A and B are shown apart, each in its own frame.
Chain A
Amino acid sequence: MEHEGRDYALWSIAIVLVVLFALIPVLWLISISLKPPDELTDQRFIPQSVSFDNYKSLFEGGIDDSPFIKPLINSIAIALITTVISIVLASFCAYAIARLEFPGKRLILAGALAIAMFPPISTVGPLFDMWRALGLYDTYPGLIIPYLTFSLPLAIYVLVAFFREIPWELEQAAQVDGATPFQAFTKVIVPLAAPGVFTAAILVFIFCWNDFLFAISLTSSDASRTVPAALAFFTGESSFTAPTGSIAAAAVVVTLPIIVFVLFFQRRIVAGLTAGAVKG
């Protein structure tokens, strides 16, 4: 009994440490985003009084004058468009790799792996030059194209791992039972594949949402600048105030929805991140 009590205490400490480690920066951001300007430098972890002015200033001036609304829209739109295209292309490819026999299969997987390791900075210069010549600089497609390239390996690997687990015989069984090939696919295979596809979509979205290097290199204005890049160029209310409060508030706005999302779909994300890793 005594032994068990000690174990229980040790585990509790370990768990509390892990949770604190993960949460401190988030709580800290919330704290400074709520501090009024005169308390910003009080060095306290918990704000003494609460003000929502930093949040108000983010959205002041509507879409034209707010430093934050346009980048937020850009971030969401670019990440969503990339996710849809990436998942469609990756699904075709992963289906072929999981189900069909054809030469070049291993080469595609190896190539995808190589691209996952590819340093994005090596493509920034050529893309900058090409995009300016092609008129893609500072546009949505200018960011969507590189995001697509670098998210496809991730999507393909996750989807191949999931598609290999699908009992494809069920498709034939349904056809034997009188379903048309189309019915067999939509009624049997699609529901089985959906969780994997959804998981891959979450991971691709987070990947695009997180990018900073392409976002600052290939954009120059609010026309296509995403939140991470916009945050790096935030300025204070006047040239004498530091933008700390506004950055913290903007950071909280883009972080909380993702946290809720991550918490809600944690099982899927864990499954996706570890897909294939164990088959070595």
Chain B
Amino acid sequence: MEAHATKTSSRTRSERKLGWMLCAPAVLAMLLVTAYPIAYAIILSLQNVDLRFPDENSFAGLSNYVTVLTSSLWWTDVFNTVFIMVVTVSIELVLGMAIALVMHRAIFGRGVVRTSVLIPYGIITVVAAFAWQFAFAPETGFVNNLPLISEEMDWFGGRFSSFAVIILAEVWKTTPFMALLLLAGLVTIDGQLYEAARVDGASAWQRFTKITLPLMKPAILVALLFRTLDAFRVFDTIFIMTRGALDTESVSILGYNQLISRLNLGLGSAVSVLIFVCVFLIALLFVKGLGTKLEEGRPGG
């Protein structure tokens, strides 16, 4: 008996060792560009570091944070980012659900729908942003030629009309991902439930609200979490369409401008750390709502 026990424990031990060895390279590679840089960003954010004046580095304490948090630019950008995030994700949820239902329940043409839905997913975000920008540009675009739209409409001449185009491009690009995650939740629902409800005289709308939605809650929350965090990081579309002009900047654009365009690593890092904190808080809110279900979920694409 004793010999058997030692054998099992030595086997468990070697299994443990093998498990750690196999995971070590991936874990190291993941930490290399996240844990260390974020620690470095925190250090940079506490200093005056401007690459244009490399000899003038000094300890700054929290003054960079004070500068960022008391500037109206930061709060404008937070508003812009949250506005774009909330509108984009809300439209996507409704549209994604509709597309998921079409894919799930279609009598025919399921393949066609799935195929076309994947096209936006495969397209580079920058390319999609250019396509929509050209479509709405007053000189080249076909949009102003459409009925009901003024030919003089200058979409990129105002803040909220720019947001409208930015949100459209974002919705177009990322709805497929939302739809597919929702579809994954839809297919797990037992079809017999619908049959039973139909026999009991439930309408299609009742079946949707009383069966589909409650049973899909975990899938919806997972999809919302990934898309919300993704939408909070919005950068590519805004950079291509407006470069943040006319108060259309997102927090990521602000960070980029400080870090790369102005080479002010101190202030830029403070912005980076604050973005990190925002993302952390959003994730925390969702995790509270989801409980442990999230660990079985999957990261965004």
Contact B20 A102 (CB under 8 A): yes
A209 CB-CB contact with B under 8 Å: yes
Contact A262 B265 (CB under 8 A): no
Residues of A within 8 A of B158 (CB): none
Q: How far is the CB of B258 from chain A (nearest CB, A)?
A: 8
| Most chain A CB within a 10 A radius of its CB, from B33, B128, B252, B293 | B33
Chain A stretch 20-52: residues in CB contact (< 8 A) with chain B? 21-23, 25-26, 28-29, 32, 40-41, 43-45
State A213–B126 Cα separation when bound (angstroms): 10
Chain B stretch 121-176: residues in CB contact (< 8 A) with chain A? 121-128, 130-132, 134-135, 139-142, 144-145, 172, 176
Contact B116 A121 (CB under 8 A): no
Residues of B within 8 A of A180 (CB): none
Residue of A nearest to B118 (CB): A262
Residue of A nearest to B137 (CB): A244
Residues of B within 8 A of A103 (CB): 16
Choose one: A45, A89, A95, A255; the contact of B29 (CB below 8 Å). Answer: A89
State A101–B181 Cα separation when bound (angstroms): 29
Contact A149 B38 (CB under 8 A): no
Residues of B within 8 A of A241 (CB): none
Q: How far is the CB of B292 from chain A (nearest CB, A)?
A: 9
B211 CB-CB contact with A under 8 Å: no
Known interface pairs A21-B172, A22-B117, A117-B283; A278-B185 also in contact (CB < 8 Å): yes
Residues of B within 8 A of A45 (CB): 142
Contact B296 A276 (CB under 8 A): yes
State A115–B28 Cα separation when bound (angstroms): 12
B87 CB-CB contact with A under 8 Å: no
Residues of A within 8 A of B125 (CB): 210, 212, 228
Residue of A nearest to B293 (CB): A280
B214 CB-CB contact with A under 8 Å: no
Residues of A within 8 A of B181 (CB): 273-274, 277
State A145–B36 Cα separation when bound (angstroms): 13
Residues of B within 8 A of A97 (CB): 19, 23
State A107–B229 Cα separation when bound (angstroms): 21
Choose one: B16, B122, B184; the contact of A274 (CB below 8 Å). Answer: B184
Residue of A nearest to B270 (CB): A125
Known interface pairs A21-B172, A121-B256, A212-B236; A262-B122 also in contact (CB < 8 Å): yes
State A105–B296 Cα separation when bound (angstroms): 13
Contact B34 A156 (CB under 8 A): no
Contact A122 B298 (CB under 8 A): no
Known interface pairs A206-B122, A248-B134, A278-B187; A145-B32 also in contact (CB < 8 Å): yes
Contact A89 B265 (CB under 8 A): no
- In the complex, per-residue mask of A89-110: 1 if CB is within 8 Å of any chain B CB, else 0: 1101101110011111110111
Contact B123 A26 (CB under 8 A): yes
Majority-rule SS of A interface residues:
helix
Residues of B within 8 A of A152 (CB): 26, 29-30
Contact B235 A116 (CB under 8 A): no
State A150–B33 Cα separation when bound (angstroms): 8
Q: How far is the CB of B225 from chain A (nearest CB, A)?
A: 8
Contact A125 B41 (CB under 8 A): yes
Q: How far is the CB of B62 from chain A (nearest CB, A)?
A: 17
Known interface pairs A19-B113, A102-B16, A270-B118; A277-B298 also in contact (CB < 8 Å): yes
Interface size class of A (residues with CB under 8 A): 35 or more
B279 CB-CB contact with A under 8 Å: yes
Choose one: B226, B272, B293; the contact of A124 (CB below 8 Å). Answer: B272
- In the complex, per-residue mask of A141-165: 1 if CB is within 8 Å of any chain B CB, else 0: 0000110111011101110010000
Contact B109 A32 (CB under 8 A): no
A203 CB-CB contact with B under 8 Å: yes
B83 CB-CB contact with A under 8 Å: no
B197 CB-CB contact with A under 8 Å: no
Q: How far is the CB of A220 from chain B (nearest CB, A)?
A: 10
Q: How far is the CB of B149 from chain A (nearest CB, A)?
A: 11
A195 CB-CB contact with B under 8 Å: no
B180 CB-CB contact with A under 8 Å: yes
Footprint of A on B, CB under 8 Å?
A: 12, 15-16, 18-20, 22-23, 25-27, 29-30, 32-34, 36-38, 40-41, 44, 51, 98-99, 102, 106-109, 112-128, 130-132, 134-135, 139-142, 144-145, 172, 176-177, 180-181, 183-185, 187-188, 218-219, 222-223, 225-226, 229, 232-233, 235-236, 239-240, 251-252, 255-256, 259-260, 265, 268-269, 272-273, 275-276, 279, 283, 293-301
The 13 listed contacts between A and B (C-beta, < 8 Å) are A18-B102, A19-B112, A25-B172, A96-B19, A116-B300, A125-B255, A127-B33, A149-B29, A209-B124, A213-B256, A227-B124, A263-B115, A273-B177
Footprint of B on A, CB under 8 Å?
A: 7-8, 11-12, 14-15, 18-19, 21-23, 25-26, 28-29, 32, 40-41, 43-45, 89-90, 92-93, 95-97, 100-106, 108-130, 145-146, 148-150, 152-154, 156-158, 161, 203, 206-207, 209-210, 212-213, 216-217, 227-228, 231-232, 244, 247-248, 251, 254-255, 258-259, 261-263, 266, 269-270, 273-280
